[in-house]
């Protein structure tokens, strides 16, 4: 456990110094502040605009950090051959893999917390009360980002940075439309399309299970058990992806 912690903390410090992280975080802050301006210019409830833009910013920027920083964590070590120095020590490959994942997860947690605090402050400026219901959307967003991060790590064990990024981004986009794709397929008479849509629906992650943004913004009823069930789905899927990633990484020839 100590070895994993050491790798995680080193990865956290490395990713925090990454210019991509600060660039995306700055972009997220600008988006959230822009939502305040847009809310004042839009007819309707400005607070809903701020919440919608804010939650969307947390999700998108967190996902981009997971993809663009995550895909380089394993691949960069192998490309620069620094992994030989690390693995020459009494350190198992799975410990290295999990340590890297935990370190970047901590970085993403910092990003989500910083942006969430800013969003809470902006909401408080409109209505002087703490909008705790936002946590019903923010916590699932965080677990969704961790799932995307695990997928990025999986692809980075056997593919280049560019392809890993494209694959991960594609899964993120498709993951939000698997339900719609299946519904469209069922409405057609194309048997092949239906089979392909079923494979996509059951194999790829259904990220809409972790999407509560619209319901939170519009004050629709959300139960704790519903959120816990979605988090369980996200955690189980993440664990499976990490295990597959470890399996591939353990058997990859990196000489």
pLDDT tens by residue, 140-149: 999 999 999 9
Containing domain of residue 230, as a range?
2-176+211-251
- Mean pLDDT (whole number) for 97-122: 88
* pLDDT for position 128: 85
- Residue 62, pLDDT above cutoff 60: yes
* Cβ-contact 28, 57 below 8 angstroms: yes
Q: Give the torsion sign (CA, 57, 60, 62, 65).
A: negative
- Mean pLDDT (whole number) for 211-238: 92
Binned at pLDDT 50, 70 and 90, residue 136 comes out as: very high
In a domain, 202, yes or no: no
SS3 labels along the chain? CHHHHHHHHHHHHHHHCCHHHHHHHHHHHHHHHHHHHHHHHCCCCHHHHHHHHHHHHHHHHHHHHHHHHHHHHHHHHHHCCHHHHHHCCCCCHHHHHHHHHHHHHHHHHHHHHHHHHHHHHHHHHHCCCCCHHHHHHHHHHHHHHHHHHHHHHHHHCCCCHHHHHHHHHHHHHHHCCHHHHHHHHHCCCCHHHHHHHHHHHHHCCCHHHHCCHHHHHCCCCCCHHHHHHHHHHHHHHHHHHHHHHHHHHHHCCCC
Q: Give the torsion sign (CA, 199, 251, 234, 35).
A: negative
In a domain, 188, yes or no: no
- Residue 5, pLDDT above cutoff 70: yes
To 10 degrees, what angle do helices 161-175 and 46-79 make? Answer: 150
Question: What are the CA-CA distances from residue 92 to residues 12, 23, 86, 246, 254 (Å)?
Answer: 19, 33, 10, 11, 14
Which of 141-145, 158-162, 181-185 has the highest average model confidence (pLDDT)? 141-145
In a domain, 92, yes or no: yes
Phi then psi for residue 48, to 5 deg, are -65, -35
* pLDDT for position 83: 65
Question: What are the CA-CA distances from residue 143 to residues 163, 235, 237, 243, 248 (Å)?
Answer: 23, 7, 10, 17, 23
Binned at pLDDT 50, 70 and 90, residue 88 comes out as: low
The tally of domains found in the chain comes to 1
Residue with the bigger pLDDT between 235 and 2: it is 235
In a domain, 240, yes or no: yes
In a domain, 25, yes or no: yes
- Mean pLDDT (whole number) for 234-254: 89
Residue with the bigger pLDDT between 225 and 79: it is 225
In a domain, 192, yes or no: no
- Mean pLDDT (whole number) for 26-44: 68
- Residue 198, pLDDT above cutoff 60: yes
Between 6-10, 16-20, 38-42, 95-99, the lowest mean confidence (pLDDT) is in 38-42
- Residue 76, pLDDT above cutoff 60: yes
Q: What is the pTM of this model?
A: 0.89
- Residue 123, pLDDT above cutoff 80: yes
Average pLDDT score over the chain = 83
CB burial of 205-227 (b: ≥16 within 10 Å; e: otherwise) equals bbbebbbbbeebbeeeeeeeeeb
Binned at pLDDT 50, 70 and 90, residue 64 comes out as: confident
* pLDDT for position 42: 64
Q: What percent of the chain has pLDDT over 70?
A: 84
* pLDDT for position 151: 94
* pLDDT for position 125: 81
* Cβ-contact 95, 140 below 8 angstroms: no
- Residue 229, pLDDT above cutoff 90: yes
In a domain, 152, yes or no: yes
């Amino acid at each position: 456990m100590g070895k994993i912690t050491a790798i995680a903390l080193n990865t956290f410090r490395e990713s925090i110094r990454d210019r991509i992280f600060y660039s995306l975080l700055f972009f997220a802050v600008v988006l959230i502040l822009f939502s305040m301006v847009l809310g004042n210019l839009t007819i309707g409830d400005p607070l809903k605009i701020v919440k919608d833009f804010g939650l969307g910013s947390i999700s998108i920027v967190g996902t981009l950090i997971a993809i663009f920083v995550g895909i380089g964590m394993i691949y960069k070590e192998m490309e620069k051959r620094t992994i030989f120095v690390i693995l020459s020590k009494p350190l198992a490959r799975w410990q290295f893999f999990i340590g890297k994942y935990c370190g970047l997860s901590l970085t993403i947690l910092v990003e989500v917390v910083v942006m969430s605090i800013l969003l809470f402050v902006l909401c408080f400026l409109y209505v002087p009360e703490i909008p705790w219901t936002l946590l019903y959307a923010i916590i699932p967003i965080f677990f969704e980002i961790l799932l995307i991060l695990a997928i990025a790590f999986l692809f980075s064990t056997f593919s280049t940075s560019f392809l890993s990024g494209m694959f991960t981004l594609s899964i993120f986009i498709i993951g939000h439309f698997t339900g719609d794709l299946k519904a469209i397929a069922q409405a057609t008479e194309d048997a092949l399309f239906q089979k392909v849509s079923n494979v996509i629906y059951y194999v790829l992650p259904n990220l809409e299970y972790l999407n509560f943004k619209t319901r939170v913004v519009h004050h629709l009823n959300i139960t704790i058990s519903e959120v816990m069930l979605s988090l369980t789905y996200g955690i189980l899927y993440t664990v499976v992806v990490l295990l597959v990633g470890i399996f591939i990484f353990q058997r990859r020839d990196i000489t």
